[in-house]
Amino acid sequence: MTQSPPDSLQEDDPSRLPADDPAPTEDFPYEVEMSLFDHLDELRKRVIIGLAAVTVTTVASFFFINQIVSFLQLPAGKVKFIQTAPGEYFFVSFKAAAYVGILMAAPVILYQVIQFILPALTRRERRFVLPVVIASSILFALGLAFAYYAMIPAAMNFFVSFGAGVVEQYWTIDKYFDLVFVILLSTGLVFEIPVLQVLLGVTGLVSSKQMFANWRYIILAAVVLGAVITPSTDPLTQMLLAGAVSGLYFGGAGAVKLLGR
């Protein structure tokens, strides 16, 4: 007499599963088994592409370095710049071109990072890749604009007015550009806060309700962050950055809430 298969085999048989059994929605459509060496090789390719982008933008920037330097000197107003050693401006030109190249290549670097982690994302999470890249690029550019038109002039005006009538305002070109590029880069990165919040919200790690509930701590953290990452140390620039961080955070929380709906 023929015996029916064990219950475990019946359950494993796809033909015996209910017809209305829902298909998984959070699958990994492009998941590929990769060894450690494959991951390292993929990482190497992404790093090479990022470095190539930085090299191209740096070389391109060097051809327009005089215009770039003149443009970056504008927030300093009527301050006179000097070089204190032979060839100082020549080496500063290379440094400025490299800084500008990194800033211009930032969207490409971000895209390569996302491409590297893309296979680990679910189908739902992959839908946010292109919007995240676009939003990150726009926010980074807005951060650079905010730094150039608001934070740097505020810092320069503070230093000029603080020493007015006591010292002549002659600044070394090297020290000035170190300060300017640190402000530009740090502000551009700070403007990525909403993107980070959206990623946390999409993955379900933090909800918009939790983000809004901690608003007191966020304002305090924004003030501390403004004091820590602002290299100019003047209070006006720190408060400008703290205000920007607070606004960006609450804007990001609002975006998470809208996406949740």
Asked if residue 202 belongs to a domain, the reply is yes
pLDDT recorded at residue 53: 93
Share of the chain above pLDDT 70, in %: 81
Asked if residue 48 belongs to a domain, the reply is yes
Model pTM score: 0.74
Asked if residue 205 belongs to a domain, the reply is yes
Asked if residue 166 belongs to a domain, the reply is yes
Asked if residue 11 belongs to a domain, the reply is no
> How high is the mean pLDDT of the chain?
79
* pLDDT of 13 above 60: no
Asked if residue 5 belongs to a domain, the reply is no
* pLDDT of 61 above 60: yes
Please tell me the least confidently modeled range out of 11-25, 95-109, 236-250.
11-25
Task: Select, from the ranges 51-55, 74-78, 148-152, 181-185, the one with the highest average predicted confidence (pLDDT).
Answer: 51-55
- For residue 33, name the pLDDT band (cuts at 50, 70, 90): low
Domain span at residue 81?
34-260
What does the pLDDT look like over 189-241, one tens digit per residue? Answer: 888 888 888 888 877 788 888 888 887 888 888 888 777 776 666 677 778 88
- For residue 125, name the pLDDT band (cuts at 50, 70, 90): low
Asked if residue 21 belongs to a domain, the reply is no
Asked if residue 3 belongs to a domain, the reply is no
pLDDT recorded at residue 28: 52
* Neighbour count for residue 171 (Cβ, 10 Å): 17
Task: Select, from the ranges 42-56, 75-89, 145-159, the one with the highest average predicted confidence (pLDDT).
Answer: 42-56
* Number of domains observed in the structure of the chain: 1
Mean pLDDT in residue range 23-47: 67
